[in-house]
Amino acid sequence: MAKNSTSSTTVPDTAWLGRGRHLGPEPERDVRRNLIALKAAGVLDDFLDLEPVEAARSTPLYPRDEAADPGPSARRLFEARWRVADDVTVRAQLVTYEPEGRRKGDEGVTWILAAEAERAWDVNWPSPATMFWPDSDRIDWDHDTLPGLRLRTTNHLPKDDDELRHLLRDCTRQSWFIHVVVHEAMTPDAMGQRPVSTFLPPSLRHRVVEHRGTPEQAQIADFAMKRELGVRMPRGGAVVLPTAPPSPWYDADRYTVRTVFLDGSEPTELLDRIREFAALPQPMPADAEPALRRLRLGWHLLTPDEELAHAQAMVAKYAEALDVMTNSRDLYREAAEAAHAALAEATGGDGVPRLPGPRPVKADASPLGAITKALGRFRGPNK
């Protein structure tokens, strides 16, 4: 898969997108067990577990579309459907992918999740991630595709200046998640080490990667962020990092919080800024466009009403095809009858062709005269 930049389009407000890595031995087993448990509990309406080849075939609703093909490196495709507030239906697909090249011990299996609701997404709805992945710290599904970064925990900034600048660039250009950097004015206790994401609403909890800067990293973090991203890192504060290229709606001052108390209390101002940032039109990652298209055009898990509508549409389609075939048959019969009439006219009705009589031969039409006439064409005007 491409190490993507962003496209010119924005993520629809009905969609939830995520891309990460699972570092455990059997990611598909973890997904399968979670789906089975949630369906048994009535959380999910239904789910499907498909081989990539099976998923790439013609879908029930649409003919085969190349964009709906998960690709040659896909390992497994899962679909799930559930309902949220006011009976709003959510459809989601999760695809697991083999890593590029030979798998390394810490590289893991990449996953892409695309979910879409029937109306604009509400951050208080359940997270699509936990519909597929177990919401447990013991399952290593929640890693960013960038090495060393994980959701649902704090990630300390590199101490090396070059490594820090490279990390900031990669976070804004390659990651699908929202990145927040929090500076510790002093080393926090156990309560202060609690991740900010634990205070976020469910659908935002698995969209945020939290970075922590130690007390002595205030200047190096501020310098690196100012140089790479044009934002400042306040001592004892926090900043929500922009995307690259930055959104026209992003204001560095607006998404900078001067003071964050890391004492276990809810950091209200920072949480509000994260919510505001998540509500901005977000640029569509390049790899996300085919994922969203696959969700829309490569959907297999139909409701009974959708199956009935599909059957009715197929009946209408077959009736139309039959009508076309009937018209073609009538046209063929008319053409055949016309051909028979022409043949009868040419043969007099008895099947014996009527050949025309011999043409009169001109007097000078002898073999010698024909040769002489042909040779005369090669004579020049002076010969």
Tell me what the mean pLDDT of segment 317-321 comes to.
74
Q: What is residue 66's predicted lDDT score, i.e. its pLDDT? A: 60
144 Cβ partners below 8 Å, 6+ apart?
20, 21, 150, 151, 175, 177, 209
Percent of the chain with pLDDT over 70: 80
Which own/partner pairs from 262-269 qualify as long-range (CB within 8 Å, at least 24 positions apart)? 262/182, 262/184, 262/185, 262/188, 262/192, 262/193, 263/188, 263/189, 263/191, 263/192, 264/191, 264/192, 264/194, 266/199, 267/196, 267/199, 267/238
Note the pLDDT of residue 329.
Answer: 80
Query: Tell me: the pLDDT tens digits for 250-284?
Result: 999 999 999 999 999 999 999 999 999 999 999 99
Which range of 114-128, 281-295, 364-378 scores highest in mean pLDDT? It is: 114-128
**Helices of type H across the chain:** 27-40, 52-56, 129-132, 161-173, 202-205, 218-229, 268-279, 288-297, 304-347, 367-375
Quick check: 142 and 152 in contact, CB under 8 A? yes
Whether the predicted pLDDT of 334 surpasses 90: no
Domain ranges for the chain: 6-302, 303-347
Q: What pLDDT, on a 0 to 100 scale, did the predictor assign at position 110?
A: 96
Cα 316 from Cα 327, distance rounded (Å):
17
Q: Residue 116: is its pLDDT beyond 80?
A: yes
Look at residue 36 and tell me whether its pLDDT is greater than 60: yes
Structure-model confidence comparison of residues 29 and 7, the more confident one:
29
pLDDT over 90 (residue 122): yes
pLDDT of residue 1: 39
The answer to whether residue 157 scores a pLDDT higher than 80 is yes
Using the predicted structure, report yes or no on whether residue 5 has a pLDDT greater than 50.
Answer: no
Confidence grade of residue 338 (pLDDT, cut at 50, 70, 90): confident
pLDDT of residue 360: 53
* pLDDT confidence of residue 3: 42
Instruction: Give me the mean pLDDT over the 145-153 stretch.
Output: 95
Whether the CA torsion 267, 270, 272, 277 is positive or negative: it is negative
- In one-letter notation, the amino acid at residue 178 is I
Of the pLDDT bands very low, low, confident and very high (cuts 50, 70, 90), residue 4 is very low
Q: Is pLDDT of 111 > 50?
A: yes
Confidence of residue 11 (pLDDT cuts 50, 70, 90): very high
Confidence band, pLDDT 50/70/90 cuts, at residue 286 = confident
pLDDT category at 229 given cuts 50, 70, 90 is: very high
Q: Phi/psi of residue 226, each to 5°?
A: -65, -40
**pLDDT band at 225, cuts 50/70/90?**
very high
User: Which range among 24-33, 66-75, 317-326 shows the weakest confidence by mean pLDDT?
Assistant: 317-326
Q: Which two tokens stand for residue 193?
A: 């080490």
Please state, rounded to an integer, the average pLDDT across all residues of the chain: 86
Please give the backbone phi and psi of residue 170, each rounded to the nearest 5 degrees, phi first: -65, -35
Residue with the larger pLDDT of the pair 227 and 306: 227
Residue 99's SS3 state is: coil
| pLDDT score for 326 | 81
pLDDT at residue 248, rounded to an integer: 87
Judged against a pLDDT cut of 60, whether residue 17 lies above it is answered with: yes
Band the pLDDT of 2: cuts 50, 70, 90: very low
